[in-house]
Structure 1
């Protein structure tokens, strides 16, 4: 067997990468396989190499990185190996190359808390085994949950009231969401107010789908909803400020959220949360009718360990 790594050449190698992706999804289902062809890859192309066996492309690497709210500088190493070429050391070679490249980037950046990240869904036992053998450990589990919408009409806790969400409230809403997730060690990436507004404009601009509960002039909690292109309701943000927790506000808002989506003709709603969340968010959502449909473990390893 002649295994070799070489740099990715854009765009002439894109078809070979797509062939690897197709082979992987045929076995593992709808898993995330970022890489060339995903949006604008210019900054990431130097971190993409191809693995060839006897001249045939059988795998590739990809890397992105960002800073998280708790100060972690995460270097996410991803990629894929065609199923018919596994068990031949391809994944180990590619991962070793990625770790070395991540160390180079971290050194240039002067990263204070550099950490390697790796993802392996439940349908990817081979990838999980590769990461564990390389010293990665489970950090947290991203959970995909779904619920049928319907009429619940649950009352808010005494003293709280819903008000229509308006654009002038965005500074307060942004501040509340960031405050609620600022101490998270589960991968939260803080957003500036400008980034928040960009996300709202692109994905969540229908403020009639938002819910905000107020205690007088103080915001107590907010739920952000949107409707996807397929007609499914999506809830990217649920935030209750610390002072108003443990009073049933989150549960009441989530019931009202399902009511609101049902009134718009939506029959199914989805959200993501973290299984290990200290506020037992999975339990909260299960109590209003959501069920877990997929678990996506996130693995990490201190860079250089």
Structure 2
């Protein structure tokens, strides 16, 4: 929907002619990231994640996925700083998703090797990222809000100071929650007329459309097109994923997608199944469908020997999801913060 009080985003983005290149004298050579950097980038990402207290570690397939999708152009949307020995010491990637309609967003992601911090590299990377992000936002002539967004761990206090100094402000908080599978699971049968079926390829498009409808009223959510929906599946666990089908109409009423992140188990000290996405379409809400999907997932996790179920949730989710998870025994463990500049 167009907001008549706003001018076109292209007029508000304040985009530079070119993103500011990191200055000389930092001891690094700068170039775009390449797909064949995936393993080196993974090592850098892991070093950043460890230093920032992240409860996860990026795997090589996930790093490779950063180059997938027609909306990614590594030659213009990424940068990396390489030292004299050819080691990647800093990186940035800016992503604007093609499906955004209500708020046009540019996501800024970057990091600096802990051994290279405190030299001004982080400021330079952030300045480049903001400049490129503003360029991507300026491609839109829609009279809708724009957002430059950065997600960081709450424990990454130095990064928080860097973002604050650059004009970013914390606007949203996301909790990682876990639930022990050693504790008894509640009974949560699906509502009458709803059948839970295993994830299958022939339901993919129906689930995508159900997702877009289910999340249309969620803060920060935008519709996903078919290509976006199919991306970032390297850790997808279809055997732990479920679709709720209305028996009378054959429509998808809800769904739960799970991920299997084995590389994160040692970091956390336990094995777990991860709830990637959980959605219920408005016409099927308040009938107990979400709990039945969660219990089905937890049952599958436990059957495969997992010790915990883990999920992430917007702490201010207006659907009451946070309270639902607490009632099912989930407890908050880590927090992520989204900093942004709103345009």
| TM-score normalized with structure 2 length | 0.68
Indicate if the aligned counterparts of 1:117 and 1:300 stay in contact, CA closer than 8 A. Answer: yes
- Deviation, 1:277, is 1.0
Pair 1:132-2:164 in alignment: yes
What is the 5 A alignment of 1:269-280?
269-280=309-320
Pair 1:43-2:55 in alignment: no
Output the CA distance in 1 between the equivalents of 2:186 and 2:121: 53
Output the CA distance in 2 between the equivalents of 1:246 and 1:234: 24
Indicate if the aligned counterparts of 2:53 and 2:156 stay in contact, CA closer than 8 A. Answer: no
Gaps of 5+ in 2: 1-23, 263-270
- Deviation, 1:131, is 0.8
Output the CA distance in 2 between the equivalents of 1:19 and 1:203: 22
Distance 1:170 1:90, change over 3 A: closer
Output the CA distance in 2 between the equivalents of 1:241 and 1:32: 32
Distance 1:23 1:245, change over 3 A: closer
- Deviation, 1:279, is 1.0
Other structure's SS at 1:132 match: helix
- Cα RMSD over matched residues? 4.1
1:103 to 116, 134, 147: 134
How many pairs were matched up? 297
Other structure's SS at 1:243 match: helix
Other structure's SS at 2:340 match: strand
- Deviation, 1:136, is 1.1
Structure 2 residue aligned with 1:253? 293
Residue deviations 1:68-102 (CA, integer Å, cap 9, x gap) = 54533322222223445544443323322322233
Indicate if the aligned counterparts of 1:221 and 1:250 stay in contact, CA closer than 8 A. Answer: no
Structure 1 residue aligned with 2:197? 164
Distance 1:213 1:80, change over 3 A: same
Residue deviations 1:217-245 (CA, integer Å, cap 9, x gap) = 36574232446263732322222222332
Other structure's SS at 2:51 match: helix
What is the 5 A alignment of 1:1-305?
2-3=25-26, 6-8=29-31, 21=45, 24-30=48-54, 38-39=63-64, 41=67, 43-46=73-76, 47-50=78-81, 59-67=90-98, 69-83=100-114, 85-107=116-138, 109-110=139-140, 112=142, 113-149=145-181, 150-157=184-191, 159-165=192-198, 168-186=202-220, 188-193=221-226, 196=229, 203-206=236-239, 209-212=241-244, 214=246, 216-217=248-249, 219=251, 221-226=253-258, 228=260, 230=262, 232-302=272-342
- Deviation, 1:178, is 1.6
Gaps of 5+ in 1: none
Output the CA distance in 2 between the equivalents of 1:177 and 1:25: 30
Output the CA distance in 1 between the equivalents of 2:63 and 2:206: 34
Indicate if the aligned counterparts of 2:256 and 2:276 stay in contact, CA closer than 8 A. Answer: yes
Indicate if the aligned counterparts of 2:92 and 2:111 stay in contact, CA closer than 8 A. Answer: yes
Other structure's SS at 1:96 match: helix
- Deviation, 1:143, is 2.6
Indicate if the aligned counterparts of 1:223 and 1:239 stay in contact, CA closer than 8 A. Answer: yes
- Deviation, 1:200, is 7.6
- Deviation, 1:268, is 2.3
Distance 1:256 1:22, change over 3 A: closer
- Deviation, 1:259, is 2.7
